[in-house]
Structure 1
Amino acid sequence: MSSDPALLLDAPFGSFPALISAWGEARGDAPALYDGTQRLSWRETADRVERIAARLQADGLQRGQAVAILGTSSVNYALVYMAAIRAGGCAAPLTTSASPDQLLGMAADSGAIHLFIDRAKLTELGDFKLPIERQIVLDEDLADFMVPEGTRAAPFEPEDQDPFNIIYSSGTTGIPKGIVHSHGMRWRQISFRSAQNYGTTSRALLSTPLYSNTTLVTFLPTMFSGGYVSIMGKFDAEKWLQRAASEQITHTMLVPVQYRRLMQFPGFDDYDLSAMKAKFCTSAPFPADLKAEVLKRMPGGLVEYYGMTEGGVSCILIAHEHPDKLHTVGQPAPGHFLKVLDENLNELPPGEAGELVGRSPVMMLGYKNQPEKTREGYWTDPGDGTVWQRMGDVGRIDAEGFVELVGRTKDVIISGGFNVFPIDLEMELAKDDRVVEAAVVGIPSDQWGETPVGFVVLKPGVGEDALEDIRATANSRLGKTQRVSALHAIEEMPRSHIGKLLKTDLREIAQAK
């Protein structure tokens, strides 16, 4: 093995388990993980990953079998995640915000025989028990679970199609689908690390949960490049700024609502963030005005990723290089391809809005145990038989190849037989100086089939008596088929744990009103 583990990453495919061990030797006492309570060097990290993996193997973990993890992100959480992969299994982080019934479904679907759960989540669940044979309290029992110091796990040499992780979709209803990613897919993702300045000097701050693919976009390249990861169990603007400044953070992943809270924090400009090299964003629409403010006030580059956990296409907007394209999500990454389809699944020319489908080297293996759902998520090109992922979004591609999102396919409002894209209405509402944020949903209408209803977060000091004027002003700039039929004030938009706007909740509120 090369004395420089970074050289291993230049290969077309390689071993993540070998990388963890190699960085443990090469980086030794250099810091690897910290969560505000526990701090580990690279030597300690590699040793503990080996010891947890060896115990998983001794307990009968089979190749490709899931190891379930449930709780708040922490050093121990990260160790178990990597140990599951080192042992030859795959990591299956379960969504902490899921209902007990959803957790029951995910646990059964995963096929895991181990569940690592933290004390807080165990207490929250109370008498509700998940049907997994072996349960280890993550923040209390991990030291006793590990085999003795210095013990190494049996060798595991991954193949391209071996499962690396299962990410459960963030659906708001039913049992989330298990999205299976392979070692090969993750390796191809990591190959882009150099373009984003990942290396042994990288110091990443994570404040989104490790059960989310969003977080892995920064966690994995930092760890497998021999860098340092600082983990926040819960985002808090002031604490984030304190840690980013004191630890001289170079890389971070934040969702749009977190950027907005940082920009609104009164003491933001008092913190020294000059070490920051790259800031990333994904998971939810990132308004152009917010991107512009982040570019102006936060040091380092700003990169937005657009894509699905399932794979398909990944688009990249290097915002600091394309300040005139902030209304887009960038261009498809190298080796990624995008098409726009009409309602009959025929390809549309540039400039026209339609359903997006993507194809790339980083597509999922499929939904675990759901072949029918997997097939439903694909579109086959009738011309050449290639398989494309249906992205679930409506968008258009401009003449330079930049992609502008118009909305989700399920969120398009059909009013009087016309397609109404919520983003067009939301942008007009958000232009008003009295509005912080806007969202539009469609609700049933006897006259039009569906009608657009808007929600706004008002700026401090603005009363609800301004709503009608805000609505009328926006409608005066919209086409007749687009106009907002009602506008409601809301204190805060409903969002998932990773910042996705929950339009299902807004529809329920609109219909109740």
Structure 2
Amino acid sequence: MGDQPWIKSYPEGVRYDRELVQMPLWQILDDAVAQWPDRPAIDCMGRKLTYRELANQVERAAVGFREIGVKPGVHVGLYLPNTPHYVVSFFAILKAGGTVVNYSPLDAEKSLIHKIEDSETDIMVTLDAKSLYPMMAPLLRRTRLRTLVVAASGMPCEVAWGDDGHVRFESLLAKDGPRVEPPAIANLEEAVAVLQYTGGTSGLPKGAMLTHANVSAACSQYWETHAGAGILHESEERILAALPLFHIYALTVTMLMAIRLGAEMVLMPRFEAETALREIASKKITAFLGVPTMYSAILNHPKVADYDLSSIRFCGSGGAPLPLEVKQRFERLVACPICEGWGMTETSPTGTFSPVSIRHRPGSCGLPMPGVRIEFRDVNDPSKRVALGERGEICVAGPNVMKGYWKGGVASERTSDGLFRTGDVGYMDDDGFVYIVDRTKDMILCGGFNVYPRTIEEAIYEHPAVAEVSVIGIHDEYRGQAPKAFISLKPGTPGLTLEELKGFLEGRLGKHEMVQAMDIRADLPKTLVGKLSKKELYQEEAAKAAPGGATR
């Protein structure tokens, strides 16, 4: 166990060397239908589908997709919120032989055009909603996009149905011909199921090629560590799908894992704290998976105490580090531990898990998943491993790690011995627990010291007035860089000055880590899935530092 210290910390019933089942992704649905045909699969705004009904719609849609040209090598975009159309289309496209490309309904036009052209998306599925169709329709003429499949949203806008590039989603479901025989996949490790674009902090997004083997292995890892450990139970769970399914965390852990469990997915087209509270209480949700900002929003909702959340028996957090203060407050609220994990788009997105049967270690995101090998390499020389307890770049290998970047190769993203370089900085303790410190690109160099924004953010979150915080490095004439905090305050709290914050942080941070500048904001910038985003803050500071830029 010298190179795998985490094995000794594995909980009872979970094995690191368990064989991970890999399969075509549509088989996950087929297996669930065979076991639980009459169980509810989807509940969306009061309308339900059983597993049998869901499978029937998938089979019909697969015939329809095949008729409009979906086959191996064809890329089909999903530009949808959390509605049944997403689930049906995902499986139908794969059964027809196509590859799914996920698009965010919040993407700017520039990003949409880049992804369409870069991914070679020929067909796009969307809704006739005002927030979606008017954004996508003009791109039929301006990009390689040749077909727009439009589904009814219930709140339609005007659609150019006379345009021969338009197809009604409902017409796909009307197809009643012979069922489509899914393509025979000779090599699951090579067959790309999903092109999943990474947001990144700069530059254009890159498409991670996630194969059927990658994503099904990730499901198997989650199954082993959660269902295998007795945390989640087959045919008993009701999962709130608040995370957008176009995001890899929700796609794998919420949708595919829910289906593998025979769970009922309660779909939220858009996350709102009060709606989430109402759904949890009225529908007796048993499992909630979110990102840290969702937990903060629920905790800070003024009516949170009015809702009965006692049905929840499992919570999971991913996508970004969960501040300890937020974790502890939410666990007191629901009397249920939050299981943290670390992963990335490029890892489908599993990486680590937190055993609930073992006392939580504050700040840790858990142990490496079954089949995942994690090593820590010198930040400046990835050929060198660092010792346990020392900080280094997290490098990972496993069946869940992507095939590569679409059109981009992987040479610069790999170590000389083939591990994927994540860009995350962290360390592992003697028992194999992983601690994420920060991103290599976010590390602040203050007077020769490496300063990690997350350390500062954790300390600031302890202040009773702070709702959310992001810390970045800004130019400093004397030290090179200095930490600056961007803070939003809880409703009804008094203001906060920089001197008051510094006084609070004394004893919590070292002198080299002390915040030197602060902005109070009504809201902080977030990514498309609700994670706090620093990209905009860096851009603001760069603009101010440029000749003629504003000063603050």
Q: Amino acid of the residue matched to residue 132 of structure 1?
A: L
Query: Is the Cα–Cα contact under 8 Å of residues 498 and 517 in structure 2 kept in the other structure?
Result: no
Identity of aligned residues (%): 27
Structure 2 contact 485–518 (Cα < 8 Å) conserved: yes
Does the 8 A contact of 1:443 with 1:453 survive in 2?
yes
**Residue 87 of structure 1: CA displacement?**
1.7
> Is there any run of 5+ residues in structure 2 with no aligned partner, and where?
1-17, 154-167, 545-551
Alignment check: 8 A CA contact 1:82 1:91 kept: no
Q: Is the 8 A contact 2:20 2:217 kept in 1?
A: no
**C-alpha distance in 2 between matches for 1:20 and 1:477:** 50
Residue 106, structure 1, aligned to residue 115, structure 2? yes
Counterpart code for 2:204: I
The answer to whether the 8 Å contact 1:50/1:151 transfers is no
1:481-492 paired onto structure 2 within 5 Å: 481-492=512-523
CA contact (8 A) 2:393 2:426 kept: yes
8 Å contact from structure 1 (residues 47, 149) kept in 2: no
Q: Secondary structure of the residue that 1:437 maps to in structure 2? A: strand
335 and 127 in structure 1: CA distance in 2 versus 1, 3 angstrom threshold? closer
Distance 2:340 2:247 in 1: 16
SS at match of 1:83: helix
- 2:392 corresponds to: 354
Which stretch of the first structure deviates more once superposed, 78-87 or 304-313? 304-313
1:107 maps to a residue whose letter is I
State the partner residue of 2:171: 144
Asked if the contact 2:316–2:338 (Cα under 8 Å) also holds between the matched residues in 1, the reply is yes
The aligned runs of 1:77-116 (5 Å cut-off) are 77-116=86-125
TM-score, normalising length: structure 2: 0.84
Which of the numbers 146, 150, 155 marks the counterpart of 1:133? 146
1:187 to 195, 216, 219: 216
Tell me how far apart the structure 1 counterparts of residues 432 and 204 of structure 2 sit (CA, whole Å): 36
1:301–1:460 distance in 2 versus 1, CA, 3 Å: closer
Shift of 1:150: 6.6
1:407-422 correspondence runs (5 A): 407-422=438-453
Say whether the 8 Å CA contact 1:313–1:338 is kept in structure 2: no
Q: Is the 8 A contact 1:15 1:157 kept in 2?
A: no
Question: 1:152-171 residue pairs with structure 2 within 5 A?
Answer: 152-158=179-185, 159-161=187-189, 162-171=191-200
CA RMSD in angstroms comes to 2.5
Distance 1:144 1:335, change over 3 A: same
1:113 is paired with a residue of what secondary structure? strand
Deviations 1:71-91 (A, max 9, x none): 222111111011112222222
The equivalent of 2:365 in structure 1 is 329
Closer/same/farther in 2, CA of residues 219 and 234 from structure 1, 3 Å limit: same
**2:528 & 2:429 partners in 1: Cα distance?**
32
Provide the C-alpha distance between the structure 2 equivalents of 1:40 and 1:221, rounded to a whole number of angstroms. 17
- Give the distance between the partners of 2:337 and 2:87, measured in 1 at CA: 27
Give the Cα separation in 1 of the matches to 2:175 and 2:360.
57
Q: Which residue of 2 aligns with 1:4?
A: none
Q: Counterpart in 2 of 1:246? A: 282
CA-CA distance at 1:49 after TM superposition: 0.4
The counterpart of 1:308, out of the listed 344, 354, 376, is 344
Query: Take 2:22 and 2:538, find their aligned partners in 1: how far apart are those partners?
Result: 46
Shift of 1:476: 5.7
- Post-superposition CA distance 1:153-212 (Å, at most 9, x none): 124333412212111112354431111111112222222322342422222111111110
- Offset at residue 19 of structure 1 (A): 4.3
Q: Which ranges in structure 1 are unaligned for 5 or more consecutive residues? A: 1-8
- In 2, Cα distance between the equivalents of 1:289 and 1:155? 48
Supply the distance in 1 between the matched residues of 2:513 and 2:280 (Cα, whole angstroms): 43
Q: Is the 8 A contact 1:313 1:332 kept in 2?
A: no
Q: Are the aligned partners of 1:316 and 1:330 in contact in 2 as well (CA < 8 Å)?
A: yes
Q: 1:421 Cα shift?
A: 1.2
- Could you say which residue in structure 2 is the equivalent of 1:367? 405
Give 1:24 deviation, angstroms. 3.5
Kindly report which structure 2 residues correspond to 1:389-428, keeping only aligned pairs within 5 A, or say none: 389-428=420-459
Matched residue, 1:297: 333
Paired residue type of 1:60: G
The 3 A distance-change label for structure 1 pair 51 and 477 is closer
- Residue of structure 2 aligned with 1:39, choices 44, 48, 57: 48
Counterpart amino acid of 2:532? L
1:219 aligns with 2:255: yes
TM-score of the superposed pair, with normalisation by structure 1 = 0.90
Tell me if the contact between 1:315 and 1:332 (Cα under 8 Å) persists in the aligned partners. yes
Query: Letter of the aligned partner of 1:403 in structure 2?
Result: V
1:122 aligns with 2:133: yes
In the TM superposition, what is the alpha-carbon distance from 1:53 to its structure 2 partner?
A: 0.9
1:435 Cα deviation after fit: 2.8
Matched, 1:279 2:315: yes
Q: Does 1:431 align with 2:462?
A: yes
Q: Does 1:498 align with 2:509?
A: no
Shift of 1:34: 2.2
Amino acid paired to 2:352: C
Q: Are residues 509 and 175 of structure 1, via their aligned partners in 2, closer, same or farther at CA, if it must alter by over 3 Å? A: closer
* One-letter code aligned to 2:72: R
Rounded to whole Å, the distance in 2 between the matches of 1:323 and 1:291 is: 14
Deviates more, 1:445-454 or 1:328-337: 445-454
Match of 2:295 among 234, 259, 272: 259
Measure, in 1, the Cα distance between the counterparts of 2:491 and 2:330. Answer: 21
CA 1:64/1:433 → structure 2, altered by over 3 Å: closer, same or farther? same
Tell me whether 1:51 sits opposite 2:79 in the alignment: no
AA in 2 matched with 1:480: K
Which stretch has the larger CA shift, 108-117 or 22-31?
22-31
Moved more, 232-241 or 220-229: 220-229
Distance 1:200 1:236, change over 3 A: same
Question: 1:410: Cα distance to partner?
Answer: 0.4
Aligned to 2:482: 451
4+ residue runs over 6 A deviation: none
**Contact kept in structure 2, 1:95 and 1:168, CA below 8 Å:** no
Shift of 1:473: 3.7
